[in-house]
Amino acid sequence: MLATQSEGDDVAGHALKAIILNCTLKRSPAVSNTEALASKVVEWWDRMDVVSEIVRVVDYNVPFGVSSYEGDGDEWPLILDKVKAADIVVLATPIWFGLRSSVAQMVIERLDGTYTETNDVGQYPLYNKVGGVIITGNEDGAHSAAESTLFNLSHLGLTIPPNADTYWVGDAGPGPSYIEAHGEDHAYTKRTTRWMAHNTVHLARMLKANPIPAEGNTFAEEDEHAPHIG
């Protein structure tokens, strides 16, 4: 039983934390289809004792840039702190013109700043976190948005579980979005939501119990590694 394991985690004070970065273009309180699908993932996590939060990025003042702090008024550090505190980091994005949103791209660009840091053992600071992606669009582009996002996350140090994506898209051309189209009843999206919610947790538990060894994946080893055996 996952619930039991989860309770076990709780006993040890290790309840998992998850953050979903909702990259809709619309500020609160506008309705976000992407948030509607994200909330389905949260429903599963709630049952698994994962403490989660959905952050709508455009509600914060996040300027364009590739560092972790872009000067006065930059609220990205508030979001980055939440990312660093999480065991599971999920980008949720609408599709525009076949790609993830400009806000999602901006979030990835800002995460570039983490490349200049390391964790205690010399790896990128986002190591031992698990990544996933949630996508909604009215027609097409889910694969593209998932491909780029999961790859970027893996490059930033996150581990990508099997079936780490869930998405809803309608058929070709303009049309209703997730909420209006009753995407919540769409069998495929329900299944991928379930799989994604569970697999992010499965891997996060593994990595919490057994972090990735700092062997072969740090900058510090660079010099010694030329002749290094093993």
**Residue 55 in the binding site for its own copies (CB under 8 A):** no
Type of residue numbered 208: K
Nearer to its own copies, 69 or 151 (CB): 151
Question: What part of residues 155-184 is at the interface with its own copies (CB under 8 A)?
Answer: 155-165, 167-175, 181
Nearer to its own copies, 68 or 154 (CB): 154
Per rule CB under 8 A, count of chain residues that contact its own copies: 92
Cα distances (Å, whole numbers) of residue 138 to 57, 79, 169, 172: 21, 28, 5, 8
163: left (phi over 0), alpha (psi -120 to 50) or beta: left
The 3-state DSSP class for residue 194 equals helix
Spatial neighbors of 18 by CB under 8 A, at least 6 apart, are 45, 50, 51, 52, 53, 86, 87, 88, 89, 90, 200, 204
Task: Quote the least distance from Cβ 193 to its own copies, whole Å.
Answer: 10
Residue 182: Cβ within 10 Å count: 10
Stretch that binds its own copies, among 9-17, 77-85, 186-194 (CB under 8 A): 186-194
**Residue 215 in the binding site for its own copies (CB under 8 A):** yes
* Helix or strand holding residue 89 (H, E): strand 88-96
Task: Quote the least distance from Cβ 2 to its own copies, whole Å.
Answer: 5
Binding its own copies (rule: CB under 8 A), the pick from 59, 154, 179, 184 is 154
**Residue 20 in the binding site for its own copies (CB under 8 A):** no
Binding its own copies (rule: CB under 8 A), the pick from 15, 55, 99, 121 is 99
Binding its own copies (rule: CB under 8 A), the pick from 75, 179, 195, 208 is 195
Let me know: does 183 contact 85? Beta carbons within 8 Å. Answer: no
**Residue 69 in the binding site for its own copies (CB under 8 A):** no
Type of residue numbered 185: D
Question: What part of residues 119-138 is at the interface with its own copies (CB under 8 A)?
Answer: 123-124, 126-127
Task: Quote the least distance from Cβ 85 to its own copies, whole Å.
Answer: 18
Residue 29: asked if its preceding bond is cis (omega within 30°), the reply is yes
Binding its own copies (rule: CB under 8 A), the pick from 35, 150, 177, 204 is 150
